[in-house]
Amino acid sequence: MPANKQPVYTGIGNAQPALSEELFKATEAIYRQNFELSVKNRTLRVLRSLYTVSLKDENIAETAQHITDILCDEMSYQFALLSVVQTENQTVGAVAINQNRVLKEILKSHHLAVQDTIFSLKNQEAVMVQVLAANTPQTLTSLFPLFSPFLPENACVQIEHSLDIRTLFVYPLVYAGRPLGVLAIGIGNDSEQFSDVEKESMVQLIDVVKITLERSNLQRSLQEANNRMKDLDKLKDEFVTLASHELRTPMTAIRGSLSTILEGYAGEISPSVREFLVAAYNENDRLIRLVNNLLNISRIEAGRINFAMTKVDISAVIQEVVSNLDSAAKEKNLTLIYDKKSDVGHVRADCDKVKEVLINIVGNAVKFTHKGGVTVRAAVDGNFIVISITDTGSGISNSDQELLFKKFSQVQGNYAKQSGGTGLGLYICKIMVEGMGGKIWLDSTLGVGSTFHFTLPIFHEGKV
Amino acid sequence: MAKILFIEDDPLIVKIYSTRLKADGHEVFSAENGEEGLNVIDECHPDVVVLDVMMPKMDGFAVLERLRSRDAYKNIPILMYSNLNNEEEISRAKKAGVTEFIVKANLSPTQMVVKIEQYLPAPASSGT
């Protein structure tokens, strides 16, 4: 049977080289696939890390530092340098390099901060500029062309040796046609040894780096726009304040002069002169109110209205306002009464603002009423005190009622023509009343009159 | 009767108020900036000081702080007025010890004079 064995043995013997070659190939394929899988796996991990960085609200330098560190720590690249294009100055400059102790020392010994590596976009000698201009990557075998003239050649060689950098890939980062920056990656192999799968993973990483940079840029421009807005707003505010002061100074001087004459301190004046001076006085007063209201509005809109909430004797405030406006009512032969039935106690409010609201509403009522009079009442309603101002004026139509508390509203109907108002008063009243925790509204019947109501919270001891 | 010192850089404003105050029989002094005000006050010994906020050289706040730091003027009524209804200004003045802060545009000259007279010592009956 040896004759039988022979061919089998020979067969095996003959088959062996082929088999072992196949085995070798299979092993190699497994190795390669294993390697590719590990690269892909790592890439996925790094992509996730980069994605996390892109979501942080950090400035560009911090973002860039994270990117270079992640690429070296997690992709095991030897070197990573990220540069960013500054469109304002037309430059591309390094913002971060991977953190490595040896690298840091070498740079320090040459007195180079990596951020000093800045090239004009017109400098055609610079590798970073070339890469961006052509929008194609370059492969280098030395660091020197990248850093020249900022770092001497011997320092570059020193870095290459210490970090074991054999090849540098310099990638343009261009997003939607706009150059964002340049990423340089250093690896410890020759470029031929850099496999397709590694190149592919690099391309994926580059894409995410671009998006991260773009997001960081957007974030910054948003921040800048926001800051500019704030500056402008502040400027506007300062302007309004200054303008109001400059307007008020002469206006109060005019009022003072006119009232000095009208009250007889400057000698006798004839009735016709008085008539014109009264007109001048009233018109000037209207200007003062307008400026006051504008100033109030600008303060309200800048969020700079504060309420100094204290215990306020509401009856006393009503009494004060009513007596202040008494002469204006008498001039028009109107009655102006505070119909005080019982003591309503105290409210929790800002006294000056309550006065302003009352002067506004009672003043309006006097202004728009031509026959009869104005009555102010206060009554307790639950946790609030309701202050009601009733006039026997012409009343306000339903459609006008809706507009009444809006800014610049009263330029409607006959209300405006006779009033000489600014259309701001009730808007300000509404904001002030609501700011103190109350409500404001009105009931009105055309031809009969109107009642304005507003509420203020009752003061409770120990609850300021 | 009583003495009132105006520290105010606008002579017209001083004239408007002093016309009325003099008609009521008071004596009015004036200084047109903070520095001058600090000197004049020692000479005229006023019963009330009316102080403007915005003035050249030394503003109203600085004057107020200096007056309050001196024993002689710790308790003298100081009315401060401004054309601005600025809440920061008002609280600053209150902290520095203002007696009352008045927004000029909110008061007519007559009301202002009434305000000033509120702080004057009671005439004759007090015996001074």
pLDDT recorded at residue A41: 85
> Does pLDDT of A411 surpass 50?
no
- The pLDDT tens digits for A145-177 are 998 888 889 889 999 998 999 999 999 999 888
Inter-chain residue contact B83 with A244, CB threshold 8 Å:
yes
In Å, how far is B80's CA from the nearest CA of chain A? Answer: 15
Q: What is the torsional sign of CA A316, A318, A322, A325?
A: positive
Quick: pLDDT tens for B76-101. 999 998 877 677 788 889 999 999 99
- Give, as one character, the DSSP assignment of residue A371: S
Look at B23 and A265 and tell me if their CB atoms are within 8 Å. Answer: yes
- Which backbone phi and psi does A380 adopt, to 5 degrees? -80, 135
pLDDT at B38: 92
pLDDT in tens, A276-318: 999 899 888 888 888 888 877 877 877 777 888 999 999 999 9
Own/partner pairs, A114-120, CB within 8 angstroms, 24+ separation = A114/A81, A115/A61, A116/A150, A117/A83, A117/A93, A117/A147, A117/A150, A117/A151, A118/A91, A118/A92, A118/A93, A118/A94, A119/A91, A119/A92, A119/A93, A120/A90, A120/A91
Q: How far apart are CA A229 and CA A424, in angstroms?
A: 25
For residues A426 and A191, the model is more confident at: A426
Alpha-carbon dihedral A28, A32, A33, A36, rounded to 10 degrees: 170
In chain B, residues with a C-beta closer than 8 Å to the C-beta of A350 are none
Q: Read off the pLDDT of residues A307-350 as tens digits, 9 standing for 90 and up.
A: 889 999 999 999 989 988 888 888 889 999 999 887 888 999 99
A265 to chain B, closest Cα gap in Å: 7
Q: What CA–CA distance (Å, rounded) separates B116 from B24?
A: 12
Q: Which residue of A has its CA nearest to B109?
A: A256
Those residues with Cβ within 8 angstroms of residue A112's Cβ, 6 or more apart along the chain or in another chain? A150, A151, A155
Name the amino acid, one letter, at A425.
G
How many angstroms separate the Cα of B16 from the Cα of each of A253, A255, A266?
8, 10, 10
- Single out the residue of A322, A317, A382, A381 nearest to residue A350, CA to CA: A317
Question: Which amino acid belongs to residue A409?
Answer: S
With an 8 Å Cβ cutoff, are A288 and B105 in contact? yes
For A248, nearest residue in chain B (alpha carbons): B83
DSSP for residue A215: H
Residue of A nearest to B102 (CA): A352
- Are B104 and A252 a contacting pair at CB < 8 A? yes
Q: Is residue A384's pLDDT more than 90?
A: yes
- For residue B71, give how far its alpha carbon lies from the nearest alpha carbon of chain A (Å): 31
Q: Cβ contact (<8 Å) for A248 and B54?
A: no
Nearest by Cα to A181 from A94, A113, A260: A94
Residue B57 has which token pair? 């050289």
Minimal-distance CA residue of chain A relative to B104: A252
* Residues of chain A in Cβ contact (below 8 Å) with chain B: 241, 244-245, 248-249, 251-253, 255-257, 259-260, 263, 265-266, 288, 291-292, 295-296, 304-306
DSSP characters for chain B? --EEEEE-S-HHHHHHHHHHHHHTT-EEEEESSHHHHHHHHHHH--SEEEEESS-SSS-HHHHHHHHHHSGGGSSS-EEEEES---HHHHHHHHHTT-SEEEEGGGS-HHHHHHHHHHTSPPTTTT--
Q: Which of B26, B87, B111 to mutate to test the interface with A (most CBs of A within 10 A)?
A: B87
- What confidence tens digit (pLDDT) does each residue in B45-68 have? 999 999 998 888 888 999 999 999
- Residue A201, H or E segment: helix A196-262
Give the model confidence (pLDDT) of A412-449 as tens digits.
444 444 455 667 788 889 999 999 999 999 999 888 99
Structure tokens at A231: 């500056």
- Least CB–CB distance from B84: residue in A241, A251, A253: A241
d(CA A127, CA B10): 69
How many residues in chain A? Answer: 464
Q: Are A313 and A340 in contact (CB under 8 A)?
A: no
Task: List beta partners, residue B78.
Answer: B49
Query: Is B12 at the interface with chain A, CB within 8 A?
Result: yes
DSSP letters of A258-313? HHHHHTTTT----HHHHHHHHHHHHHHHHHHHHHHHHHHHHHHHTT------EEEE
Q: What is the pLDDT of residue B123?
A: 61
How big is the A-B interface in CB pairs under 8 Å? Answer: 54
Q: What is the pLDDT of residue A409?
A: 59
The average confidence (pLDDT) of chain A is 86
CB contact under 8 A, A256 and B54: no
For residue A457, pLDDT beyond 90: yes
Cross-strand bridge partners of residue A79: A186
Asked if B16 is an interface residue toward chain A (Cβ–Cβ < 8 A), one would say: yes
The pLDDT assigned to B124 comes to 52
Q: How many residues does chain B have?
A: 128
User: Which amino acid appears at position A424 of this protein?
Assistant: L
Q: CB–CB of A249/B16 below 8 Å? A: no
Question: β-strands A91-97, A118-120: how paired?
Answer: antiparallel
CA–CA dist A198, A35 (Å, integer): 10
The answer to whether A280 touches A287, Cβ cutoff 8 Å, is no
Residue B111 C-alpha, separation from nearest chain A C-alpha, in angstroms: 9
Query: What CA–CA distance (Å, rounded) separates B35 from A381?
Result: 55
Contact, A208 vs A51, CB < 8 A? yes
Joined tokens for residue A95: 């913002």
For B16, the closest of A241, A249, A260 (CB atoms) is A260
Q: Does B24 touch chain A (CB under 8 A)?
A: no
Distance of CA A331 to the CA centre of its chain: 52
Mutate to test the interface with B, among A252, A261, A289 (most CBs of B within 10 A): A252
Chain B 38-97, residues with CB within 8 Å of chain A CB atoms: 54, 83-87
Q: Flag if B20 and A245 touch (Cβ within 8 Å).
A: no
Beta bridge partners of A84: A93, A181
Our CA-based measurement puts residue B26 at a distance from the nearest CA of chain A, in whole angstroms, of 15
Q: What is the DSSP string of A99-116?
A: --HHHHHHHHHTT--GGG
Q: What's the pLDDT score for residue A11? A: 57
Q: If 0-12 CB within 10 Å is exposed, 13-18 middle and 19+ buried, where does residue A461 land?
A: exposed
pTM for the model stands at: 0.54
Put simply, the answer to whether B87 touches A304 (Cβ < 8 Å) is yes
A409: phi then psi, degrees, rounded to nearest 5: -90, -30
Q: Which residue shows structure tokens 């408007």?
A: B16
- Kindly report the number of other CB atoms within 10 A of residue B77's CB atom: 18
